[in-house]
A and B are shown apart, each in its own frame.
Chain A
Amino acid sequence: MAPTQKPKRPVATTVNDFVALPLRLPALPSYPREATHHLYVRAHAPKVPTASTPRELFLVNVPADATEVHIRSLFASQLGGARVESVAFEGARVGRGITAPVAPVRRKRKRGVEEEDGGEGEGEKEVGALPATREREVHRSGGTAVATFVDAASAELALKEARRAAKSGKATIVWGAGVEGKLPALGSARYLAHHRLRFPARHALQESVDAFMTALSAQEVARARALARLRSQPDEDGFITVGRGGKGDAAREEAAKLKGEELAKRQKKMIGEDFYRFQVRERKKDEAKDLVRGFEEDRRKVEELRKRRGKARPE
């Protein structure tokens, strides 16, 4: 992909309802060549709009090294000074569809959510999360993000500015300008940091595990209690719910299944294989059939071999 070829092909400034915003990528010592990245921007239009939707822009093809700082600085200093409140990146989303990213949260434990029903405190969500191991996340190539601005006007302004910059046809906007020093470095430092963070202090880990375990047992107790209640009290129609008691767990079910299979086998064994004459006959017939089939198979295999390798001929 020689750079000389590029001007020949006209680059679109808009595509569908996206603005294709060219970003200049400064040259690096290891890659001394300027390149252009294309960021696609449009107003956020999720299927299920929320209150904040008017303040949001939907970004496609976000650079892999993008951070909230990058996006903030991009709009603040190079695209009309629109102020970004927060950015949600694709990989960090939980559960919901592609058009509705939410603020980046560490993955919640589902248990945590359930616990809320059990009447525990709201702060329980984050209980027992493992210590973070990365200082800075990177994103999948071609990924998306949702930038939430402080108000709808800023969002509009940002989009307008982006459109203007794209129309000018020149990649005047520089990616990563003004973020120097605000972020942990990439490269070996980042991997080294990850390596160090992977080994959290023992007490921190112990705390996290303990918290998790306490929450878990509390929740189990609560659930057992709820179940017991269901079992013992008739509901409003007068029925008693039949629930899974404490006994049936997966391993037991499997054991029962195994036992069943074994029983069937034993049943079969009770009458010896050569007990009835027809059994012998059928066995023999089967054997003969097997032989014929085996032969046919072999012949087919040899045929295939010949097709693959050509004629059998010493090298």
Chain B
Amino acid sequence: MALAGNKRRKLDHVSSGDEEEDNASFASFEEAENAEDDVSDEEMDEDDVDEDMEDGSEEDDDEDGEEEDAPGSKQEQPANGADKPTKQQLAAQIGRKTGRTSAKDALASGASAFTSGTFKSNMFKLQVDELLENIQPRQGKREKAAEEALHVLKKTIEQIPARPAQEIEQAERGLAKEKIAIPFPDPRPPKDAKYKLEYARPSNINVVGSHALKTSNRAREVAELDMVIQMPSSLFQEKDFLNHRFFYKRSYYLACLAAGLKKAHAKAYNIQFQEMHGNALNPTIIIAPKQASSEQAEQKPVLKWQVNIVLAVAQDVFPVEKLGLDRNCVRATDAPDGSSANAPTPFYNSTLRSNMLVTPYLKLLHKAATSCSSFRDACLLGSSWLRQRGFGSNIAAGGFGNFEWSALMAALLSGGGPGDKPVLSGGYSSYQLLKATLQLLVVKDFSRQPFVIGTASTPPKLQDGSPVLWDEERHHNLLYKMTPWSYKLLQSAAKTTLSMLADQKFDGFESTFILRTDNTLMRFDMSLELEQTAFIKSDPSKTSNVQQSLRKLYQTLQRGLGDRVTLINIRQPASGPWNIGTARPNQHSKGSVTVGIVINSDNVNRTVDHGPSAENKAEAASFRKFWGEKAELRRFKDGSILESLIWSAGENGQSVLEQITRYLLQRHFSSAVEQSAKFMGDEFSRMIRNGASNACFEPFIEAYRKLERDMRDLEEVPLTIRQLMPADAQLRFASIDAPMVGRTSQQTKPADVTMQFEGSNRWPDDLGAIQRTKIAFLLKFSELLEENVEGVSTRIGLENEDTDVFNQGFLDVTYESGATFRLRIHHEREQSFLERQLKDKTTDPKSRELAALALAKYKCDSLKTPAHTQAVAQLCNRFPTLSGTMRLTKKWFASHLLSNHIAEEVIELLVARTFVQPWPWSAPSSVQTGFLRTLFWISRWDWRADPLIVDLSGSGELQQTELQAITTRFEAWRKLDPSLNRVVFFAASNVDQDGVSWTDGKPSKVVASRLTALARAAVSAVEQQKLGLEPASLFVSPVNDYDFVLHLSATATGRKRRSSKAAPAFKNLELETLNDTSLVGYDAVNSFYSELEILYGSSILFFVNGTDKPVIAGLWNPQTAPRSWKVNLSYSTIPVKTGAEDEVNAEINKEGILAEIARLGGDLITKIDVNR
């Protein structure tokens, strides 16, 4: 009994630990239940089992609830126990409760996001905390300087004298005298305007924006402070919201401010005009410290800060109703009564509203920051998230920046759900706020159905697909600066992020907040640069409204490209500041517009487009109007007569996408625009011989199927075949060159196939005998195949002749078509024999080492490679661009002479990772993005500390426990071999959980570092040169880095035969050699290289180029430094006297070795270059 009591106490203790947490979240009713529990504890003292069951069931309830709601929160518990609970955690605990209750009534769509844990995982939370610590605004030098400036500026502004009301011309002249040009928006005010411009002391000066809110991200380059100056309402008349009048007056007011500031501070500060967030209607003054002259700059770097002077008006200056999204506020002058001319001007109206709403939004944000403790953190996280994806408040950057993010969250904290219940709860953690907001962005399509916060009559939807996020309380479209394309981009980014955060096996922290994803080449499959000037010229209306023509461009491309693309983004250059003394420059006269396109790789190369049926008159007409002469009426096989478009598959090297785009540009814009278009996107896939699609492997795969059938159909076989397993890159769409295509159908390398028989107990009990038995089987099969199958030739080859622990025989099967397969028999008992040899204590170390090698090789060849081949082939069918990307990446490795160090399978894993764990992007849909993102990842891969783990199933087949096991194995390797002498890369997959099958011993640390350096160089080239990048330049590798280079003769190595232009004079001779199957599999370069590796491997690090120009380069191993002479050195030496008595040092005889290599290579080597 005493014992039982003791036990109970322990149990109580544990459960009370749970309750501590629960108390916070489940409020009072939970307590009541606990009290009950206590009672029952005493009552049921004797009946342990009963109580237990009760306990257990209750526990289960609890757990269930948590699992449903918060898988992460269970892991959170110890965090609270071990760590001093921070404010956030407390908030998070409270948040869970509110999250739960609100989730029930909150809109169903968002609910899942809100409740999935306060954080993703401990790791994630810890990292986020650290990030927040690092990006929280800090009162640094630049902020201090900027704040001082604010005070000075405020004083100055208060003292600027009022200017009486003047006619426009007069006002302009007056300011021109002070060398100030009024930044009037386009069109300029008419000369005969009746109204007057006036300046009076501001009614209010305030600091707003992220600085005031303490949500500015420290990571940004320039500390920006927004100073809002409210213009007195007396300056404006009732009708000033019409026809830009407000904006003219505003511009004048701004110019007056500029004049006053210039008078006082021209020496200390740099004062310029700038379009606020790229909005031409809203110019602003930016004040920055003056750039010191060069010598001063060296002494003291200029602090990077900037004060933006933002003009505002009182909230009630103009009636709200007049500025609705469906109202017209710019009356057309030429057609006053035409209904079409007086179309709604939502952008104009919203810009005006935004001037009126500066203070209300400031209040809203303040309220949110005080009512929700993690609001500020969520703003910071949001700003990081947006920044890494290239979003900003500027129209050019998408029109969705920090302000929009915070305002959206603040508004969602007060409403937005059904019945205007808040979507977000004040108790959410920063991560929950972020995730819920993203969820909202993904689930709701604001462009299709305006999203309303607050109870309101639904505002009208915008015509052109711009998003509407209507804040009813303030009567404002928060997203008025967003374009249809930037909204789509934001949505896709949010979607990607959400699916990334849902990936429990992957720590998404880096991809969410750290990595930059806005590099055009890595983000988009195809990009297209258009010159702005050509654009403006092509616009027939001459309104020079670039926004308008961009919208037209977007709509044209969207309609024209249809389902070939999944995303089109247009990026225009951001406008810069201009001097206050000069007129506003035409921002759109130069620069170029970049169109980024994410393609749908399933449809992109379709050559025939079906339009509407000819009977459908209206649609057909619209189709014809859109496509012009390209539209053809065709009758199709199924009898339907459809409008259709025919594109050529490869007309002068242009992809279908490029053809369509060029055609559309020419038809809907002008040929000048088309001429100015620079395309980038196909160059990478064009570098792959015979095309990047899976289709070029088809004939070979077909041949393999035939082999499989032929083998199965054989009769009188000594043992039935259980299975044939492909185990070769050529059979998983991953070899650099597709087999059997091109001019010659002859294959250079037979494709490995592993064959397994049904079990039999008649196999001998000895490894050597098993190898012979295998040869005997192969002989039988060879005979049978030649007898039964037509057009097949077979022969048996030997390998590993010196030792019988390895496989010794293989069967080459060559079909008439040229397809050659190399069959090896896999016998499952080899493994147990080898393992026994390893375990046997009496085995001598040398044979044990050999057995270990053989075991690794057996596992790799017979088990891992077939499984890998199958998995990769399946993945290739799922991702059409995976094959091309793998082939291009292998080419890159080969051209940098790395392919003999890094196994093909490892490269494939690296590439597959880009597809199955594509974060922070989504899976690449072109070779370009796949390849560049792979390089990007390699450049950042810290192989010392991070394993490469790829789930090749692509569907989450890799279990969490397996992942754990792999990680443990990795850690064990690192503990065993901390200096990375044996395993440098740890590359595991769901089909190979050992992680070292292809990386044991190779690559070495040196090579791995070189790979990283090369990848970094490539990535920085991509980042610097952007669209100007010449793809081929990434594949050029300087050979000067090596100590010596052996240039191999193309003729002697047999490589020349393959090149298409060689010796056309001797065609017959050539064909003869081609038909000679005896040369299949002969690779002189490789034979030479592997022999060099055996002879000199310990003193020279060789690099061999697997492809085009045959070269073998070498580095002397630093271990060959001079040392005292001894017999057993593994390299040729020179005995050198050291000067000391009788002491002789051994120095490596580099010349002697090179001469030896030259003799060995004989006619293979044309030249040896010695660099060092």
Residues of chain A having any CB pair with chain B under 8 Å: 1, 3, 9-12, 15-16, 20, 25, 28, 30-31, 33, 35-38, 40, 60-61, 63-65, 98, 107, 109, 111, 128, 130-133, 138-142, 144, 176, 185-192, 194-196, 198-200, 202, 205-206, 209, 212-213, 216, 249-251, 254, 274, 277-278, 280-281, 284-285, 288, 291-292, 294-296, 298-299, 301-302, 304-306, 308-309, 311-315
B1162-A189 in contact (CB<8A): yes
In the complex, the 8 A-B pairs of residues with the closest C-beta atoms, listed nearest first = A187-B1162, A31-B1158, A35-B1151, A298-B122, A12-B1135, A30-B1165, A191-B1087, A35-B1155
For the complex with contacts A25-B1156, A141-B1096, 18 further pairs of A-B residues with Cβ separation under 8 Å are A12-B1136, A16-B1144, A61-B1133, A132-B801, A140-B1094, A186-B1161, A195-B1081, A199-B796, A205-B779, A209-B779, A212-B769, A212-B772, A213-B773, A216-B764, A277-B7, A302-B126, A311-B134, A313-B219
Residues of B near A128 (CB, < 8 A) are 772
B1088-A295 in contact (CB<8A): no
* B1013: interface (CB < 8 Å): no
Residues of A near B52 (CB, < 8 A) are 277, 280
B1091-A138 in contact (CB<8A): yes
Q: How far is the CA of A75 from the CA of B836 in the complex (A)?
A: 49
Mark out the residues of chain B between 42 and 61 whose CB falls within 8 Å of any chain A CB in the assembled complex.
48-49, 52, 55-56
B1132-A141 in contact (CB<8A): yes
- Given the interface pairs A131-B798, A142-B1129, A205-B775, the reply to whether A295 lies near B1156 with Cβ below 8 Å is no
Contact of B134 among A139, A144, A194, A312 (CB under 8 A): A312
Q: Which residue of A lies closest to B1053 (CB)?
A: A188
Mark out the residues of chain B between 1038 and 1090 whose CB falls within 8 Å of any chain A CB in the assembled complex.
1052-1054, 1078-1079, 1081-1082, 1084, 1087-1088
B122-A187 in contact (CB<8A): no
Q: Which residue of A lies closest to B3 (CB)?
A: A278
Residues of A near B942 (CB, < 8 A) are 308-309
Residues of A near B795 (CB, < 8 A) are 199, 202
A202-B945 in contact (CB<8A): no
Q: List 17 A-B contacts (CB under 8 A).
A: A15-B1144, A28-B1158, A35-B1152, A36-B1149, A38-B1135, A140-B1094, A141-B1153, A187-B1165, A190-B1162, A198-B798, A209-B779, A280-B52, A284-B11, A285-B14, A298-B123, A308-B945, A311-B130
- Given the interface pairs A11-B1134, A140-B1130, the reply to whether A133 lies near B801 with Cβ below 8 Å is yes
Residues of B near A20 (CB, < 8 A) are 1135
> A100: shortest Cβ distance to chain B, in Å?
14
B1095-A198 in contact (CB<8A): no
* B782: interface (CB < 8 Å): yes
Mark out the residues of chain B between 168 and 205 whose CB falls within 8 Å of any chain A CB in the assembled complex.
none
Q: Which residue of B lies closest to A220 (CB)?
A: B764
B836-A250 in contact (CB<8A): yes
> B38: shortest Cβ distance to chain A, in Å?
18
Residues of A near B1130 (CB, < 8 A) are 140-142
A292-B78 in contact (CB<8A): yes
* B606: interface (CB < 8 Å): no
Mark out the residues of chain B between 370 and 394 whose CB falls within 8 Å of any chain A CB in the assembled complex.
384, 387-388
Contact of A250 among B388, B515, B833, B1168 (CB under 8 A): B833
A187-B1163 in contact (CB<8A): yes
A206-B779 in contact (CB<8A): yes
A38-B131 in contact (CB<8A): no
* B516: interface (CB < 8 Å): yes
Q: How far is the CA of A12 from the CA of B1141 in the complex (A)?
A: 12
* B1030: interface (CB < 8 Å): no
Mark out the residues of chain B between 618 and 677 whose CB falls within 8 Å of any chain A CB in the assembled complex.
none
> A29: shortest Cβ distance to chain B, in Å?
8
> B793: shortest Cβ distance to chain A, in Å?
11
Residue count of chain B within 8 Å CB distance of chain A: 114
Q: How far is the CA of A312 from the CA of B1078 in the complex (A)?
A: 59
- Given the interface pairs A198-B797, A277-B52, A315-B515, the reply to whether A1 lies near B11 with Cβ below 8 Å is no
Q: Which residue of A lies closest to B1165 (CB)?
A: A30
Q: How far is the CA of A311 from the CA of B1166 in the complex (A)?
A: 52
B1160-A186 in contact (CB<8A): yes
* B768: interface (CB < 8 Å): yes
> B737: shortest Cβ distance to chain A, in Å?
20
A15-B798 in contact (CB<8A): no
A195-B1152 in contact (CB<8A): no
- Given the interface pairs A15-B1125, A206-B779, the reply to whether A10 lies near B1136 with Cβ below 8 Å is yes
A187-B14 in contact (CB<8A): no
* B686: interface (CB < 8 Å): no
Mark out the residues of chain B between 1115 and 1139 whose CB falls within 8 Å of any chain A CB in the assembled complex.
1125, 1127-1137
B1152-A314 in contact (CB<8A): no
Q: How far is the CA of A36 from the CA of B1134 in the complex (A)?
A: 9
Q: How far is the CA of A206 from the CA of B942 in the complex (A)?
A: 52
A185-B1162 in contact (CB<8A): yes
Residues of B near A202 (CB, < 8 A) are 779, 782-783, 795-796
- Given the interface pairs A188-B1164, A311-B130, the reply to whether A298 lies near B1084 with Cβ below 8 Å is no
> A245: shortest Cβ distance to chain B, in Å?
13
B513-A314 in contact (CB<8A): yes
Contact of A313 among B131, B772, B798, B1134 (CB under 8 A): B131
A187-B1129 in contact (CB<8A): no
Q: How far is the CA of A141 from the CA of B1131 in the complex (A)?
A: 5
Q: How far is the CA of A295 from the CA of B799 in the complex (A)?
A: 52
B832-A288 in contact (CB<8A): no
Q: How far is the CA of A213 from the CA of B764 in the complex (A)?
A: 10
B130-A312 in contact (CB<8A): yes
Q: Which residue of A lies closest to B780 (CB)?
A: A206
> B1150: shortest Cβ distance to chain A, in Å?
4
Q: How far is the CA of A109 from the CA of B465 in the complex (A)?
A: 81
Residues of B near A141 (CB, < 8 A) are 1095-1096, 1099, 1130-1132, 1153, 1156
* B85: interface (CB < 8 Å): no
* B337: interface (CB < 8 Å): no
> B1036: shortest Cβ distance to chain A, in Å?
25
- Given the interface pairs A191-B1088, A274-B56, the reply to whether A38 lies near B78 with Cβ below 8 Å is no
B516-A315 in contact (CB<8A): yes
- Given the interface pairs A186-B1162, A202-B782, A277-B49, the reply to whether A295 lies near B1084 with Cβ below 8 Å is no
Residues of B near A295 (CB, < 8 A) are 75, 78-79, 82-83, 122
Residues of A near B292 (CB, < 8 A) are none
Q: Which residue of B lies closest to A28 (CB)?
A: B1158
Q: How far is the CA of A95 from the CA of B1037 in the complex (A)?
A: 46
Most chain A CB atoms below 10 A, which of B83, B836, B1054, B1154: B1154
